[in-house]
Structure 1
Amino acid sequence: MKNLLLLLILANVLYFMWGRYATQDPQPGVAVVSERDLGPPLEFLAAGDNEATTSVGAVLGSGDPSDLAAVVGRACVTIGPFSVRSDADTAVLEYAAAGMQTAVRSMRTEVFIGQSVQVTDVASRAAGREMVRVLERRGLDGPFVVGNDEIGYSIALGIFSDAANAERVELQARSAGFVVETTPMTRNQDVFFVDVGLPPGRGAGAIVERYGEDRVALRDAATCPR
């Protein structure tokens, strides 16, 4: 019995040694996989209509410009106001010839004319004539008496679109000892705006440079042509 037990132990030791040295490391090769192991087959979706599909080339600058407009949105500028319709029409023709969509809008608004400078507190027309002579000797050009006995008299010194000129005339009249009043003058008239739709990738820098920042509305402040 003792010998049998020793033989079993020896057999286990030999089996252990054989398994340790006989096992080889995995070697590279080709694995054969069944299609059943890959899961369900893939489904390919058909592309939609060409009109509804945005061109990647358009985004990169090589596709239809209308595709890019759909992606990035429409950019517009509004130029104005123009006090004369012909000036607005000239701008429309110029940008339309460059391939841009344009439109003219008009609106009735109060337009600033200039600063009216007057000498007030004139007692009578005769007194006004004497004051005019004093002002002319002070170097003021063309003052004249306005008004009547009912509403009173004043001496008009002019209407000036340039505020600096209005201030200069006012100081000259005050230096003569007269009371001077300067008031803004406005009138209602039609003004015109030109709405321009910019092509994709086209900026408004040239338009702003030409008309000035105060006459060009951008982004949300602009109106797109219809």
Structure 2
Amino acid sequence: MTKILVVDDDLHILELVGIHLSNAGYQVYKAKDGVDALNILSSESCDLAVVDVMMPFMDGYSLTKEIRQKYDIPIILLTAKSQIEDKEQGYLSGTDDYLVKPFEPKELLFRIKALLRRYDLETDESIVRFGKTTINKKSYEVEIGNRTLLIPLKEFELLYFLAAHPFQVFSREQLIERIWGIDYEGDERTVDVHIKRLRERFSSITDDFQIKTIRGVGYLLEARQK
């Protein structure tokens, strides 16, 4: 899963951007300032950074320079400034793109996808990763640390589908159609049984993800966030 670092001292924007990126299938790491961001980058292999310009302690231009010196990842600067001089300063500091606030979350997503393509960083869609957990659709294996698990086919397909769409709620009917097919003649309790088995199988060996029940709606997979 593609990992994106979002850096902004405005907690509202940080949370909003984080939600939209998570819903789009990215693993999001959130930092409230430049120092926090560099600490995350020192321990996590992020694929792209979204950086606010106006921050305390270390502004976005300085942080961009620091990132550019140590990591070869694309950077998008977020700023309330639109003057050409400010954009020039941003590009001179090493940013790849520049987005002026307020902005539409969809536009940020478009720019992220474009940069990932340019850097050839779009991940293999057959592999989903959360922390130390890897779900590999090619081999139908689940790896947790040094441990490899082979689980029944329908359990694997259900887990992979939920993991490929983290934080997205699916009804039992939707899951039946996607995993068992529209011609399936069983009832929706099949989903409940398989979810129960997945929880029993993984809850004691990893906290990288949890499958949660959304009462009256269905299920979602919640991936552990930094």
Bin the TM-score by the shorter chain: under 0.3
* TM-score, with structure 1 as normaliser: 0.21
Bigger RCO of structures 1 and 2 (CA < 8 A, at least 6 apart)? 1
The higher radius of gyration belongs to 1
Query: Quick check: which one's strand share is greater?
Result: 1
